[in-house]
Amino acid sequence: MVEELCLRLLLEWLQDSYGVAFAAEGSPQAGWAEARSGPHSMRLHIGALWEEDEPWSRSRRALEEETGRGLDGAWILWVPPGAALPAQGPAAADFVRRVRDVASALAPGRRSYVPLPALLYLVKTDEAGGYVSAEGGLSPYWAHLSERVQGTYFLDSRSLHRLPEGDKARDELLRTIVELAAELPLNRLTEIPCTDAWTLQRLRTGPGRAAGPGGLGTNGLAIVAASPALAGEGAVVRRLLHRLVARANEAFAQRQTDLQVAVAIGAYQYVGQENVTAFLRGFDPVRYAHLDALFLAADGQIKPILPLRQAPWGGP
């Protein structure tokens, strides 16, 4: 389901970017797929940039099935790296409800986020200084917080994996933390409720249609998620990217289609935080000489890593 819906996302992006509607010829098999647009043919190799954890994957698939049951359309929920999925009980039921509530209001072709409850913990450890040691999702903002507080603090934000896009939500949360810090007694722990915002998107599959753009027939919901223990490791991402590119390059050595494309599925908070571009720069170009393009699917978006060199239908 994940590979199939990410392939559909790419085909929608190609249609939006080039005005060319490709239809997939069947579902991806072992990471390989073919698509056609009139006289033009395309072969693709698609794979994830994280190691599979089979117990985690079984749990993910069960939650995927429960959450997507009865939804009309095709959906992808992008889980930020390091985040855990609820396994069962009230937490899982609440998760399913929240996802379905957002899904019910999401128009085809749109993306939003599922607001999941998270708690931050702030403690003042010293009256002197002006420093906030932050762990978790807000760790990149420790300096911004430190310049606005009096005293020394520790901020535990490990339950926060992704803020809503844009500056507004982030700035409001940081301001709340600063205001609470100013009133916090020494060694008193305080909880700060906030929202963990996981991206949910709806592909352009109309109500009641068996197949959306791209010709693939499966509707439902795919959860794109790596095990928290395996997500985000740079060395792992680089190794799996190398393997994905090498397999595609070898298979594409004897050209049989107009386009030969590789698609990497990544687990990132935001697509702008990807490290695939930097890793590809370190590869010998011979390793991807037979690829016409390399795309990254992450956080509900398609990003060209190796842009399409030449479109067979003409134009840019």
Write out the DSSP string of 133-168: EEEETTGGGHHHHHTT-SEEEEEEETT---PPSSHH
Residue 205 and residue 211: Cα distance in Å, rounded? 7
- The H or E element spanning position 130 is strand 130-136
Question: Per-residue pLDDT for 214 more than 70?
Answer: no
The answer to whether residue 99 sits within a structural domain is no
Q: Is 209 or 80 the better-scoring residue by pLDDT?
A: 80
The arithmetic mean of pLDDT across residues 11-36, rounded, is 90
Q: Tell whether the model's pLDDT for residue 12 goes beyond 90.
A: yes
The whole-number pLDDT of residue 246 equals 95
Give one DSSP letter per residue of 280-297, joined into a string: HHTS-GGGGTT-SEEEEE
User: Pick from 199, 227, 243: which residue ends a domain?
Assistant: 199
- Considering the domain architecture, whether residues 195 and 140 belong to the same structural domain is answered as yes
pLDDT at 212: 44
Both tokens assigned to 298: 């992450």
Domain identity same for 235 and 193:
no
Q: Are 3 and 222 in contact (CB under 8 A)?
A: no
Residues 188 and 253 in one domain: no
- Calpha distance 152→183 (Å, rounded): 13
Nearest to 220 by CA among 65, 81, 98, 83: 65
Residues 195 and 264 in one domain: no
One domain for residues 209 and 268 = yes
195 and 214 in a single domain? The answer is: no
Residues 12 and 59 occupy one common structural domain: yes
For 292-303, the pLDDT digits (tens) are 999 999 999 999
Q: Do 190 and 240 belong together in one domain? A: no
- pTM of the predicted model, to two decimals? 0.90
pLDDT at 239 over 60: yes
Average pLDDT over residues 77-83: 93
Q: Is the pLDDT of residue 19 over 70?
A: yes
So what's the pLDDT on residue 108?
A: 92
272/26 Cα distance (integer angstroms): 31
pLDDT at 231: 59
DSSP codes joined into one string, 33-85: EEEEETTEEEEEEEEESS---HHHHHHHHHHHHHHHTT-SSEEEEEPPTTPPP
Q: What is the pLDDT of residue 240?
A: 94
The token pair at 28 is 């991806």
Confidence at 88, pLDDT banded by 50, 70, 90: confident
pLDDT the model gives residue 26: 78
- Taking each helix axis from N to C terminus, what angle separates 54-68 and 89-104, rounded to the nearest 10 degrees? 50
**pLDDT score, position 219:** 78
Confidence check: pLDDT of 206 > 50:
no
Residues 209 and 195 in one domain: no
pLDDT at 145 over 70: yes
Whole-number mean pLDDT of the chain? 89
Asked if residue 187 and residue 123 are part of one domain, the reply reads: yes
Residue 96 has a pLDDT of 94
186 domain-assigned = yes
pLDDT value for 217: 53
As a residue count, the chain comes to 316
The reported pLDDT for the residue numbered 315 is 60
Query: Averaged over 209-237, what is the pLDDT?
Result: 70
In the three-class reduction of DSSP (H, G, I as helix; E, B as strand; rest coil), residue 215 is classed as coil
Which residue among 199, 221, 255 closes a domain? 199
Domain membership of residue 290 (yes or no) is yes
Mean pLDDT for the stretch of residues 19-29: 87
Report the domain count for the chain.
2
* Mean pLDDT computed over 179-185: 94
- Verify that 230 and 286 share a domain, yes or no: yes
H-type alpha helices, 183-263? 234-251
User: Is 96 among the domain residues?
Assistant: no
Does residue 252 lie within any of the structural domains?
Answer: yes
**Residues 6 or more apart in contact with residue 88 via CB below 8 angstroms:** none
Give me the pLDDT at residue 313, please: 76
Residue 251 reports pLDDT greater than 60: yes
Do 194 and 168 share a structural domain? yes
Q: Within 13 A of 109's CA, how many CA atoms are on the CB side?
A: 8
pLDDT of 25 reads 86
Q: How far apart are CA 108 and CA 204, in angstroms?
A: 5
Which amino acid, one-letter code, is at 308? L
pLDDT score of 165 more than 70: yes
Under the banding of pLDDT at 50, 70 and 90, the label for residue 196 is very high
Q: What is the DSSP letter of 29?
A: B
Separation of alpha carbons 275 and 286, rounded Å: 20
Please check the confidence at residue 232 and state whether its pLDDT lies above 70.
Answer: no
Rounded mean pLDDT, 138-148: 93
pLDDT at 135: 93
| Assigned domain for 88 exists | no
Q: Which residue has the higher pLDDT, 248 or 206?
A: 248
**C-alpha gyration radius of the chain:** 22
Q: Which helix (H) or strand (E) holds 11?
A: helix 2-18
pLDDT confidence of residue 209: 35
* Domain span including residue 186: 113-199
The pLDDT of residue 230 = 64
Distance of alpha carbon 116 from alpha carbon 99, whole angstroms: 9
Last residue of a domain, one of 199, 219, 244: 199
Tell me the CA end-to-end span of the chain in Å, nearest whole number.
Answer: 32
